[in-house]
Amino acid sequence: MNDVNMLDTYKQAAAEAAVGAVESGMVVGLGTGSTAVHAIRALGRLLQEGQLTDIIAIATSEATAHEARAWQIPLSGLNQHPTVDVTIDGADEIDPALNLIKGLGGALLREKIVALASKQVIIVGDYTKRVGRLGERAPVPVEVIPFAQTPVAAYLKSLGARVIPRQHKGDLFQTDEGNIILDCYFEAISDAPALDQALRARSGVVEHGLFLGIATQAIVGGPEGLVYLQP
């Protein structure tokens, strides 16, 4: 088995373990990305087998909603169910305090909205997502309204970022909300809360991929099995 397949196996094991926290009657937030897909499929199987019933799911992206429908998982929205019992999602980086970088899948805005409405946020992934400090490997995605791209990019550069507009098939990537994403490479981030505030301070920034103090647990798969992390 090659390295990519091994990592996917670790992700699947972590995602399936996280689904063990779901109980019948819950409202469940479904994350976006390759790891979250494993959780969606595991949830769908449990529903089809009758081991879980009366689940309502809140999807964090159109792609996630499509996958959930394929598994016949009932969907609703936060306007109908404003409190989510548990959200299961992946992450691009996880630091020792369970602060995260998320958004390489392009759904960071809805992911953060759903996470903040959740009683529990379980982050799943493979061991390569663990870092000593945020920004070691992944950029911080910043969602921006298209009208503000150039001035916001200049502002992000003034904060020390190397800014790369995200592309998709030769055009600017567009989020489900019709915005663009500027991927910001800060290298290791020395003060994530300060950066969080600086990003929020600029008009035109819709949201960013620093998820600080949001995760309640992380389950990480690796060669030695599953590791359960608390903040």
Q: Which CATH number goes with the domain that contains 121?
A: 3.40.50.1360
The residues annotated with a catalytic role in the active site are 111
Decide if pLDDT at 56 tops 80. Answer: yes
The CATH number covering residue 197 comes to 3.30.70.260
Report which of 26, 80, 30, 86 is spatially closest to residue 56, judged by C-alpha positions: 26
Tokens coding 160: 């020390």
> Given pLDDT bands bounded at 50, 70 and 90, which one contains residue 188?
confident
Residue pointed to by tokens 């909205």: 113
Do 34 and 89 lie in a common domain? yes
Query: For residue 149, how many other CB atoms are within 10 A of its CB?
Result: 17
- Determine contact, residues 180/149, Cβ cutoff 8 Å: yes
Do 112 and 41 lie in a common domain? yes
User: In what side-by-side order are the strands of the sheet with 93-94?
Assistant: 93-94, 100-101, 210-211
Rounded to two decimals, the pTM is 0.96
The helix or strand, by DSSP H or E, that contains position 116, with its residue range, turns out to be helix 108-116
230 within a domain of the structure (yes/no):
no
Do 124 and 22 lie in a common domain? yes
Compute the distance between CA of residue 89 and CA of residue 209 in angstroms, rounded to an integer. Answer: 13
Decide if pLDDT at 1 tops 70. Answer: no
Domain span at 13: 3-131+212-222
pLDDT digits (tens, 9 = 90+) for 103-160: 999 999 999 999 999 999 999 999 999 999 999 999 999 999 999 999 999 999 999 9
Do 15 and 82 lie in a common domain? yes
228 within a domain of the structure (yes/no):
no
In total, the chain counts a number of residues equal to 231
pLDDT digits (tens, 9 = 90+) for 3-52: 788 999 999 999 999 999 999 999 999 999 999 999 999 999 999 999 99
Residue partners of 115: CB distance under 8 A and separation at least 6 = 29, 87, 89, 121, 211, 214, 215
Question: What is the average pLDDT score of the chain?
Answer: 97
- Determine contact, residues 98/218, Cβ cutoff 8 Å: yes
